Structure 1
Amino acid sequence: MNIVILAGGVGKRLWPLGRKNNPKQFFPVVGKKPLVKETFDRFTKTYGAKKIFFSTTADLLPYLKKIFPQLPASQFIVEPSRRDTGPAMGFVAVKLFLQSPDEPMVFVPSDHFIADVKKYLACFKIGAKLIKETDKMLDIGITAIFPSTVLGYTKIGKKYGNFGGVEVYNFDGHTEKPNYETANKYLADGNYLWHGNYYMWTPRLFLSAMKKYAPSVYEPLEKIKNLLASNKQKEIIKIYAKIPKISFDYAVTEKIDKKEVLII
C-alpha cells in the first residue's frame, strides 16, 4: 500500500504557533520531532520509506526537503497551484495511477497525534485487505468528544464485521462542518464520528468516484494524466489552475453512494 501524507495545509489552527510561514506540521507539538516526521516514522516501520509520498505545495516543499533530505524528488507530489483537497488528492491519484493503478493507497494527515499506534496501523492493514475484497472506499473515523464545527461528521450504519479487534461499519452519510447545534445533536446521537481525511482506495477507484461525483474536477485531471507521460509541465500547470477550487469532502464525500464506502 502507498501512504500519502497530506502536508500542503497552511496549518494555522495552532496560531500563533502555527502560521503560514511556519505550519504546525513542521514543528514539534507532542514530543521532540516535527509532527510530519512523527507521521513518517509511524509508517516506515511497516511499509518502508519507498512507499511513503507527500502531497504538498511549492512553497512548503523546502520544509519537507529539510526534514527528509534522504528522499528522492519522486516522493514529493507537488500540487501545481493551490486548488484545495479535491484537485490536490486527484492529482496524487493520477500520479500513482500511472505507477500502480490497482495498488491500495491511503491519504493520511501530517499533524495527528496517535496514542495507540499498534491499533492505528492495524486499521490500515484491514483497510487494504477490504479494498481488494470489496472495491469500496475505506475511511477511518475518529471518536467525537466535543461538538466541533471545523470537522466533518461521518454517520456509521450497521456493523460490517470485526477483524482482529478492528470494527468496521457500513457508511450512512457524511456532513461537512455542521453548525454548533447540529454538531451537538451528532455528539448526543452517538453514531457519528469525526472525519479525519483518512481515505483508502486504489487510484483507479478514486478517479472513478471523481468521474462520477465531481466531473468538473475529473475531466481536467484526465487531461493532465495524459500529459504527464510526455512531461508537458507548462500545459499541466495551465490546465490545473483552471480546475474548480473545492475540498474532496464537498466534491465527493457528501455525494457518494452509501454502498460504496466502509468505515473503520
Structure 2
Amino acid sequence: MIDFRPIILAGGSGTRFWPRSRRAEAKQVLALDGERTMIQRTIDRLEPLASSGKTWVITNDLLSDKICCQLDKVPEEQVLCEPAARNTAPAAGLAALLLEKIAPDSVLGVFPSDHVIADEVAFVATIQRAVALAAEGENMVVLGIQPTHAETGYGYIETGEALRDGILHVRRFTEKPNRARAEEFLAAGNYYWNSGMFVWSAKTMANAVREHLPEMTPLLEEIVAAWGTPHYDEVFARVYPECENISVDYAILEPRSAKGEHHSQLYCLPAEFGWNDLGSWSALYDFKAGQGNQDAQENVIETRGSIVLESQGNYVYSPNKTVALVGVEGLVVVETADALLVTTREHAQDVGKVVKQLASDGRSELI
C-alpha cells in the first residue's frame, strides 16, 4: 500500500477575484462554484486517496485561521503558515524535506487549492496512476491538460515519446507564451497546459531540491530540523524569507527536463477530468455557463433579483441588490459591501491592476 500524502498550496494574495477576494479572504476560502469553498472541495476530492489526517496545507497567516476552521479534520500542526510569500519551489521543497524526515517512503501530490474538477471519479483514477508511477523510482509526474485554445496565461508542457498507458515523456516546460507561440503549441498537438499538479516521492523531490537548489536547501533543512521543537516558529519566521522566490517549474522541472526526455525521469500524464483553474471572473463566467447556469441570452446572473433587457453574455454577482442590465454585452459586474467592480470579460485578467492601484493609494482596507 503506497503512503500517499497530499500537499495543498493555499497561499495567494486575493487579487484576481477582487472585490470578493482580499488578502484575508482569498479565492480558496470562497465558495465560488457551490456551497463548499474551493479548498474544501479540494480536500473532498482527495478524500478517497488519503485521509485528511495525512493532508498538509501550506498557506499564510492571513488565511490560516479560516483554513483551519474550514478544514477541521486536517491537524492544525499540518497547516504551515509561510512568513513570506516565496512561490511554489520553497513550499513544495519544504514539504518534501519534512515528509522525507517523518514519512520517508511516502509519495506526495502537490495540488493548488483553488481549481475546479468536473469529473472527480476520473480525477481519483488519474491520481492513482500518477502515484503508482511516482512510486516506481525517481519519477516526477506532472498532470497535463489538453489545450482547447491558445491560452497565454498558462505554462505549457512539450511531450515526446509515449511510455505506456498514455504516459508521456516530457521534453520541456515553457512558461506563459505569447499569442503566436501559443497558437504554434496548439497546432503542434503534443503540448499540454501545465495544471500545477505534481506527484513524486518525498525522497525524489527532496533530492531534486538538493541538486537544483543548493543555496536554498540548508535553509529548508534548518526549518525541518526545528519542526516539533519550541523553536520552530522562530526559526521558520527567520529563515524562510531568505529562500529564493521561484516556482517549481523554473527551479526544478525545467533544469530536470534539460537532461533529455529519456534521462530526466519527468513524465506527463494527460488528465481528462474537466479541469478549470478559475483564474479570472471571465473564467468563472465560462465555467458557470458551461454548467448550464446561463439564461437564454447567455448571461450568468447571481443576484437576489435582476432585470435583463437586450443584454447578452454578462456576468453579475450582487447578492444583496437587484441589478438591471439594459443594452449591454460582455460585462462583469461584482458588488460587495464596500466595493463595486465593473469591467468586461475581455479585460477581466486586468483586475489585479486595481489591487495594485489601491495599494499604491494606501487604501489597505480594500485589499
> TM-score normalised to the size of structure 2?
0.67
1:12-91 aligned at under 5 Å gives the runs 12-91=15-94
The match for 1:127 is 130
The RMSD of aligned alpha carbons is: 1.8
The match for 1:202 is 201
The amino acid across from 2:200 in the alignment is W
State the distance in 2 between where 1:231 and 1:248 align: 30
Say which is worse superposed, 79-88 or 217-226, in terms of deviation: 217-226
SS at match of 1:2: strand
Q: 1:134 to 1:91 in 2, by over 3 A?
A: closer
Q: 1:202 to 1:128 in 2, by over 3 A?
A: same
**Larger relative CO (CA 8 A, sep 6+): 1 or 2?**
1
The match for 1:188 is 187
Does structure 1 residue 10 correspond to structure 2 residue 13?
yes
Offset, 1:209: 0.9
1:97-176 aligned at under 5 Å gives the runs 97-162=100-165, 167-176=166-175
> TM-score normalised to the size of structure 1?
0.91
Does structure 1 residue 240 correspond to structure 2 residue 240?
yes
State the distance in 1 between where 2:105 and 2:177 align: 34
Unaligned 5+ residue runs, structure 1? none
State the distance in 2 between where 1:63 and 1:212 align: 36
Q: 1:103 to 1:183 in 2, by over 3 A?
A: same
Which deviations, in whole Å up to 9, do the C-alpha atoms of 1:78-107 show, x marking residues without a partner? 223221111111122222122112210100
The match for 2:268 is 263
Offset, 1:112: 1.2
Offset, 1:53: 1.7
Please identify the structure whose Cα radius of gyration is greater.
Answer: 2
The amino acid across from 2:22 in the alignment is R
State the distance in 1 between where 2:191 and 2:65 align: 38
State the distance in 1 between where 2:236 and 2:25 align: 28
Is contact 1:86-1:217 (8 Å) kept? no
Offset, 1:210: 1.4
Unaligned 5+ residue runs, structure 2? 270-367
The amino acid across from 2:266 in the alignment is V
The match for 2:249 is 249
What is the identity percentage for the equivalent residue pairs of Structure 1 and Structure 2?
Answer: 28
The amino acid across from 2:216 in the alignment is V
SS at match of 2:163: strand
The match for 2:348 is none
State the distance in 2 between where 1:168 and 1:11 align: 35
Is contact 2:144-2:193 (8 Å) kept? yes
State the distance in 1 between where 2:66 and 2:135 align: 35
Q: 1:19 to 1:145 in 2, by over 3 A?
A: farther
State the distance in 1 between where 2:58 and 2:192 align: 25
Q: 1:11 to 1:159 in 2, by over 3 A?
A: farther
SS at match of 1:105: strand
Q: 1:216 to 1:147 in 2, by over 3 A?
A: farther
State the distance in 2 between where 1:39 and 1:112 align: 7
Offset, 1:230: 4.2
